[in-house]
């Protein structure tokens, strides 16, 4: 495969910061030509740091347009004529005001796919929808942390990143359909969707989610973080054969079935906690992995990157985490992040 699976696909992006640019960068990694349309002041993420901007915009083109001007709108229309999709990551009022919807742009290209990536919906108003706000509003924060502690936010932008993934999927699905049209993705709905089995348990069985110590799973036991002689260990026993292998190595007797372990959660966790104190997290991992037991020592991000150097790529002098999709026969090229207006015509 000489080009990527999306070679020949042309995508326009009017986005800022994280969710939208992450969506289109994944498309660029797969071979799409992505043109980032920026205001004269540039994407605000350029002000954060060069590495931040590079982490979301490698391999793209940059064109500066003032979309509030007649000239800017006309230039956008010409770009839409030759594009397959436009992804917009802005407040709903700005999307409508600037004419970045399918209804406004179909006169230039009936088959253009317009993706609106917003906080709460294209017609839901402009309430601020930052990642952490959405995590709080959808129940994610209330499900995270120990039961006796405060609600906790994950240590990365899970709502923005998840919404970017979803927007890229929606964009490609509509292109595959062969029809133009409007696609909507919003952060709130994405995060509620990702609480799938938690929501189903409440909606169908009346089981309201609650937190367990050390991030424990609501049913599987033991499946959580455990302290060891040095470091923390993630142990996730979901099948009886996993338990059999673990228990033999750890010197624990009894509790052969998942239902019994769930019914006697406190007793099982006390035994497991005591057993794991006898060795370090790294040692437990090296002992249990060959037995097929789901286990991992808790690592820092620098440690994880050091353990997986194949995930680090170079893009215009920046060292970045590479894509998570690999296509047989395709060896991607990671272009540098564009300079502001680098690809302006003329």
For this structure, is 160 an active site residue?
yes
Cα torsion at 126, 13, 196, 237 (round to 10°)? -130
The closest alpha carbon to 294, from 229, 243, 230, belongs to: 243
Active-site annotation holder among 29, 146, 160, 205: 160
Three-state DSSP class for residue 76: helix
Edge to edge, the sheet with strand 223-227 lists: 223-227, 232-236, 295-297
Query: For residue 316, what is the enclosing H or E element?
Result: none
CA distance readout (Å), 170 to 37, 135, 163:
20, 22, 10
**Residue that is written with structure tokens 């009894």 in the block:** 254
Counting every residue written for the chain, the total comes to 346
Helices vs. strands in the chain: H and E counts, helices first:
14, 11
Q: How far is 107 from 223, CA to CA, in rounded Å?
A: 55
Q: What is the C-alpha end-to-end distance of the chain, expressed in Å?
A: 33
Residues classed as catalytic: 160
């Amino acid at each position: 495969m000489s080009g990527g699976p999306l070679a020949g696909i042309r995508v326009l992006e009017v986005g800022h910061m994280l969710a939208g640019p992450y969506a289109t960068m994944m498309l660029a990694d797969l071979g799409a030509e992505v043109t980032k349309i920026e205001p004269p002041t540039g994407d605000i993420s350029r002000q954060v740091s060069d590495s931040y901007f590079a982490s979301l915009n490698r391999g793209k083109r940059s064109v500066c347009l003032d979309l509030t001007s007649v000239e800017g709108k006309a230039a956008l229309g010409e770009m839409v004529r030759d594009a397959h999709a436009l992804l917009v990551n802005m407040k709903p009022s700005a999307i409508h005001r600037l004419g970045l919807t399918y209804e406004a742009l179909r006169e230039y290209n009936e088959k253009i796919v317009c993706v609106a990536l917003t906080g709460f919906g294209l017609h839901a108003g402009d309430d601020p929808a930052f990642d952490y706000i959405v995590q709080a509003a959808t129940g994610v924060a209330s499900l995270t942390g120990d039961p006796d502690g405060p609600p906790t936010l994950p240590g990365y932008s899970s709502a923005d990143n998840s919404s970017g993934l979803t927007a890229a999927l929606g964009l490609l699905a509509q292109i595959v359909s062969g029809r133009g049209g409007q696609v909507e993705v919003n952060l709130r709905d994405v995060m509620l969707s990702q609480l799938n089995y938690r929501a189903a348990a409440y909606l169908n069985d009346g089981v309201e989610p609650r937190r367990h110590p050390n991030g424990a799973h609501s049913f599987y036991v033991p499946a959580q973080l455990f302290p060891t002689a040095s470091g923390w260990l993630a142990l996730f026993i979901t099948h009886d054969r996993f338990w059999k292998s673990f228990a033999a190595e750890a010197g624990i007797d009894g509790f052969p079935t998942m239902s019994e372990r769930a019914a006697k959660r406190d007793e099982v966790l006390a035994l497991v906690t005591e057993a794991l104190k006898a060795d370090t997290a790294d040692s437990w991992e090296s002992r249990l992995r060959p037995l097929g037991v789901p286990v991992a020592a808790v690592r820092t991000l620098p440690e994880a990157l050091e353990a997986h150097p194949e995930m680090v790529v170079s893009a215009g002098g920046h060292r970045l985490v590479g894509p998570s999709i690999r296509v047989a026969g395709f060896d991607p090229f990671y272009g540098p992040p564009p300079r502001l207006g680098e690809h302006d015509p003329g």
